[in-house]
Amino acid sequence: MSQTRHVPVMLQRCLDLLAPALQDPAHPDPVVVDCTLGLGGHSEALLAAFPTARLIALDRDKEALRLSGERLAPYGDRATLVHAVYDELPEVLERLGIPKVQGVLFDLGVSSMQLDEADRGFAYAQDAPLDMRMDQSTGMGAAEVLNTYPPGELVRILRAYGEEKQAKRIVSAIVREREKEPFSNSARLVELIRDALPQAAKRTGGNPAKRTFQALRIEVNGELSVLERAIPAAVDSLAVGGRIAVLSYHSLEDRLVKQVFAAGAANTAPPGLPVVPERYQPRLKQLTRGAELPTEEEVAENRRAAPARLRGAQRIREEER
């Protein structure tokens, strides 16, 4: 697997969003957290762009940590790599003795490495064991979900996480097939989905298996429940003036990020107060108008950037205890 193919998504825009916090004279030795290390493209750029910054980088995938460790080795002890899921950020920072940080970056979704390694089962374009675990040392894989979940639960997952309109039809076919023989490989599932869908549904939106694979991946890795905890925790970890940038790749992730940022930027005072006390003032300032999209040039260079949505926010007030 070559690292040259890996092009970090919206890289310059992420650096620009975080720069004011990482170049603030009040914090000459800033700490920046890359919550989704992956192949280390964003992390390497952060270390290169901000020479006084210390990087803490998290990933649940041990193979990603190994490869990124080699890539970031030239930066020595400026980079601390941690095997952790991103909702564990508060525990990681506590363990490292870091009370607050100046920057946080999330690049959500599946890393290029996981998509490109056939035997992980993330990609519907090649046959592989149906695994989809980002951390292969723990939890149940996608095959087990397909083979053991009750039909109603599978329908819920496909609808909620894949936004799949044909969820019932697909699940009926899955249940019928798993009784004959349990699922183990991705090609059989892709074929089943193609056969189950009406012609009209196959004509739109790329590979018809895409939504089902997304739904399974989110379920296997608990991605949305992890994210629900992780974004507020990351906001809490920011020092005043600190900034957070989040890249999402589907509407469910983006909606979650949008809600947390909007709530943080809102005035929470009861209506009618002549003067709004400090504790009701917003603690975040939104740095992006809605979600920013990649440029056409970037999508042409890196097709995986196409669905990306970027949101940024700045911490403007300490939490009152």
For the chain, domain boundaries: 3-113+223-315, 114-221
Taking the C-alpha atoms of residue 262 and residue 255, their distance in angstroms, rounded to an integer, is: 10
- The CATH homologous superfamily to which domain 3-113+223-315 belongs is Vaccinia Virus protein VP39 (3.40.50.150)
3-state helix, strand, coil in the chain (%, to 5): 50, 15, 35
Specify the pTM.
0.84
CATH architecture of 114-221: Orthogonal Bundle (1.10)
114 is in an annotated binding site: yes
pLDDT in tens, 44-63: 999 999 999 999 999 988 88
Predicted confidence (pLDDT) per residue in 78-108, tens digit? 999 999 999 999 999 999 999 999 999 999 9
Q: For residue 311, give the 3-state DSSP assignment.
A: strand
> Is 41 assigned to a binding site?
yes
253: left (phi over 0), alpha (psi -120 to 50) or beta: alpha
pLDDT more than 90, % of the chain: 68
pLDDT of 282 strictly over 90: yes
Is 116 annotated among the ligand-binding residues?
Answer: no
Interatomic CA distance for residues 44 and 6, integer angstroms: 12
What percent of the chain clears pLDDT 70, i.e. is strictly above it?
A: 90
Residue 272 labelled as part of a binding site: no
List residues bridging with 80 in a β-sheet: 56
